[in-house]
Amino acid sequence: MHLLETRNLTVRFGGVTAIDNLSLTVGEGEIRGLIGPNGAGKTTFFNAVSGRYPSSGEIRVRDHVVSGLKPNEIVAQGLARTFQHVTLFKSFSVLKNVMAGCHLRSGYSFWGALLGTPRTRQNEADNERRAREILDFVGLGGLADETAANLPHGLQRAVGIAVALASEPQMLMLDEPCAGMNTAETRSMSDLIRRIRGNGTSIILIEHDMKVIMGICDQITVLNFGTKIAEGSPEEILRNTAVHKAYLGSAADAS
């Protein structure tokens, strides 16, 4: 049984086929790299799997068919994601961002919240504790009360990951987590990704920084024009001629 499996996944926008018959499996505890030139369909794949875009074909999580579910239902299945552009509740404090991220695990009920029952208060206290734990885990423990918008770019990305982790996913889809980061930040981000996996969460990673990809991924899938052109361990991918060809066609993207 695979954690995530897509069968013949296809996404079309009008006449353009962005993902074409993509079949892919990701096992538990795996870090999977997803690479390919710009426009290869990597982010579209995330959007399709996370329920943002409609798709045809099949998406399964632990053998449950989740195709056609809405994003919030997909998250409930244990699939969380981050976004290419930093996406946060910018006017919230960092802590509140993560607490909002706890939504699915918060034991929320409308009436409980309205009446402020002891149970709700207990739940919210738990949520806050958990949120602080997650912040400590991603290394933001000291910034809990900062307004998210006030943080530098790199830290905002880390908050984004913390928010996604708050739903306690089995699989985390990271869309270019190291974009716009310097070497030191990139290194600590790689480290964070490894530690997340260490907690038992699988990861799919879109990243242009080949050092990151090659350094941390167990398996790599290469997309071009919406189709899978190669799959394998980092070493295999480095040797693959089709991959080189695809990247030579648009050399700038590989940097």
Partner 1 sequence: MKVEQGTAAAQADGKGNAAPPSLNRYAWAALFAFTLAYPAAVSFDNYLLHVGITIAFNVALAASMWLIWSLGLVSFAHAGFMAIGAYTSALLLTKLGWPMWIGMPLGAILAGAAAVAISLPLMRTRAVYFFMASWSVGEVIKRTIAYFDGLTGGWNGVFDILPPTIDLGPIQINFADRIAYYYLAVVICAIIVLCIYRINDSRTGMIHWSISENELLAEHIGINVFKHKVIGFTIACVFAAVTGALYAHYQTFISPKSFDIWKSEFALVHIIVGGLTTVGGPVVGAISLTVIDETLRATGPFRVILFGVILIATVLLLPGGLETIPGRIRRALRGRKSS
Which residues of this protein are in contact with partner 1, per CB under 8 A?
50, 52, 70-72, 75-76, 80-81, 83, 87-93, 95-96, 99-101, 103-104, 106, 108, 110, 113-116, 120, 124, 142-143, 145-147, 149-152, 155, 163-164, 166-167
| Cβ proximity to partner 1, 108 vs 225, nearer residue | 108
List all residues 6 or more positions away from 165 whose beta carbon is below 8 Å from its beta carbon: 80, 101, 134, 137, 138, 172, 196, 201
Nearest residue to 143 via CA among 101, 98, 80:
98
Cα 232 versus chain centre, distance: 20
Q: What is the dihedral of CA 109, 115, 118, 121, to 10 degrees?
A: 70
Sheet containing 56-61: order of strands: 16-26, 4-13, 56-61, 64-65
DSSP letter, residue 176: S
Please tell me the distance from the alpha carbon of residue 225 to that of residue 41, in angstroms, as a whole number: 7
Rg (Cα) of the chain, in Å, rounded?
Answer: 19
| DSSP-assigned beta bridge partners for residue 224 | 227
**Residue 60: enclosing H or E segment and its boundaries?**
strand 56-61
